[in-house]
């Protein structure tokens, strides 16, 4: 298992190259990458604030739940903080399991929980100034399916 | 003495990221009332606690949770990770 909260970019290819390989109990690897999107056409940057200490702890807890529920063989979660440009990678999740259904479901579960239970806050920077991104009701609702 | 931390717009409204607070508050809600009574900027930050979340020693908690034994309280808006 790997959890990293970092300002630096990550190398997605390097992270996935050996992930889940070289062992007999893995038949499926799923990965998700989050990218900074610009919905308004005027965003200059996305700033991510986090709660050092609690962030790592909250993510580790979510990962433990996923590992137990889907009997995962391996998990990687990397989440960046700081100022990110449009088109940059924000975060990634990778899951390794015996079967693909478990790997897909666990990746979705991790994403749903990271969205509203990991202490990150997004702020958009644009020509008119800055604004905090509000949490969406649908993100909270997404937790109910688990 | 407990450490009180603020994040995102709560930090901006109050104007500082953390402070040490001498308090006899029994619950988080009591602490919020004490802070609100201090200055308008606290009043503004805590005007609607349904828009806030709280963590006690880095675990999410409720506003009616007791503060006994707690070293670190953090207030912040709903999280927007991922």
Residues of B in contact with A134 (CB under 8 A): 77-78, 80
Question: Which residues does A40 contact at the CB level (< 8 Å), separation at least 6?
Answer: A126
Q: Tell whether B9 lies on the interface with A, counting CB pairs under 8 A.
A: yes
pLDDT in tens, A48-69: 999 999 999 999 999 999 999 9
Cross-chain Cβ contact A120/B74 below 8 Å: no
**Domain residue limits, chain B:** 2-76
Residues 3-32 on A with a CB inside 8 Å of B are none
pLDDT at res. A40: 85
pLDDT in tens, A12-59: 999 999 999 999 999 999 999 999 999 889 999 999 999 999 999 999
What is the percent of chain B where pLDDT is above 90? 100
ipTM of this predicted structure: 0.95
Classify domain B2-76 by CATH number.
3.10.20.30
pLDDT in tens, A65-109: 999 999 999 999 999 999 999 999 999 999 999 999 999 999 999
CATH class name, domain A2-130: alpha beta
């Amino acid at each position: 298992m790997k959890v990293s909260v970092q300002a630096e970019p990550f190398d997605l290819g390097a992270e996935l190259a050996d992930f889940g390989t070289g062992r007999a109990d893995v038949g499926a690897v799923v990965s998700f990458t989050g990218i900074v999107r610009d919905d308004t056409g005027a965003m200059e940057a996305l700033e991510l604030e986090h709660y050092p200490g609690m962030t790592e702890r909250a993510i580790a807890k979510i990962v433990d739940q996923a590992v137990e529920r889907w009997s995962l063989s391996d998990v990687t979660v990397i989440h960046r903080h700081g100022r990110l440009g449009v088109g940059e990678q924000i975060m990634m999740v990778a899951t390794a399991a015996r079967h693909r259904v478990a790997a897909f479901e666990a990746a979705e579960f991790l994403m749903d929980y990271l969205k509203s239970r990991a202490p990150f806050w997004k702020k958009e920077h644009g020509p008119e100034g800055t604004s905090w991104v509000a949490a969406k009701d649908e993100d909270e609702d997404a937790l109910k399916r688990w | 003495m407990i450490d009180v931390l603020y994040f995102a717009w709560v930090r901006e409204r109050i104007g500082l990221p953390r402070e040490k607070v001498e308090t006899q508050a029994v619950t988080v809600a009591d602490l919020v009332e004490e802070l609100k009574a201090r200055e308008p900027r606290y009043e503004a930050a805590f005007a609607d606690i349904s828009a806030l979340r709280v963590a006690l020693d880095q675990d999410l908690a409720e506003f009616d949770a007791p503060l006994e034994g707690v070293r670190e309280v953090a207030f912040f808006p709903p999280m927007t990770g991922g």
